[in-house]
Copies of this chain bind each other. A is one copy, B any other.
Amino acid sequence: MSGTLNKVMLIGHLGDEVKMHYFEGGGCIGRFPIATNETYTNKTTGERVTNTDWHNIVVRNKAAEICEKYLSKGDKVYVEGRLKTRQWQGEDGNTRYSTEVQVQDFTFLSTKKESQANAAQTQKPVQPEATGSAGVEKASTAEQEDDLPF
């Protein structure tokens, strides 16, 4: 089987603390939500719109314990893993689905404390403008790829 790929990569902020569950055999899992944002300009109204997407993150065993120890609500983290949709029978007899990201790798990027320390010291809001740039690039790259001499 296989010849397939199932990969998710997220950078986002924790929407809540890591919730741990311990199993009898000694294993454990940690769960926490991560928020990612997408921002775009509504073409009709010209206004800037931001959507937040929430992702259910699941970590196991040692990795879970490390996450619980070092991650808190508001922290920014990189998470890499596999998409998995669990299903179960609802009380009304219908099938319910819940999609999770089962973590295979992660890296802590910055704590909420850091961000606040910075916000208190900095005057310019770097992020808002900065990340709008990515979309800009996507368009311009394709168009000009052939006429730049390097």
Question: Which A residues contact B (CB, under 8 angstroms)?
Answer: 1-13, 21, 23, 25, 27, 29, 35-40, 42-44, 49-50, 52-55, 59-63, 66-67, 70, 76, 78, 82-85, 92, 96-99, 101-111, 113-115, 117-118, 121-122, 126-150
Contacts and interface: CB of A to CB of B under 8 A. Distances in A.
Report how many copies the assembly holds.
4
Nearest to A145: B40
B144 A61 contact: yes
27 contacts: A1-B52, A2-B127, A3-B131, A5-B11, A5-B107, A8-B8, A10-B83, A11-B78, A27-B147, A43-B143, A53-B84, A54-B85, A55-B83, A62-B137, A63-B137, A70-B130, A83-B99, A83-B101, A104-B141, A108-B131, A109-B109, A109-B110, A110-B118, A138-B138, A138-B140, A139-B140, A139-B142
Contact of A39 (B2, B8, B44, B101): B2
Contacts of A102: 141
Given A23-B148, A107-B131, A110-B109, A85 B99 contact: yes
A60 B109 CA distance: 26
A25 B122 CA distance: 36
Contacts of A115: 110, 114
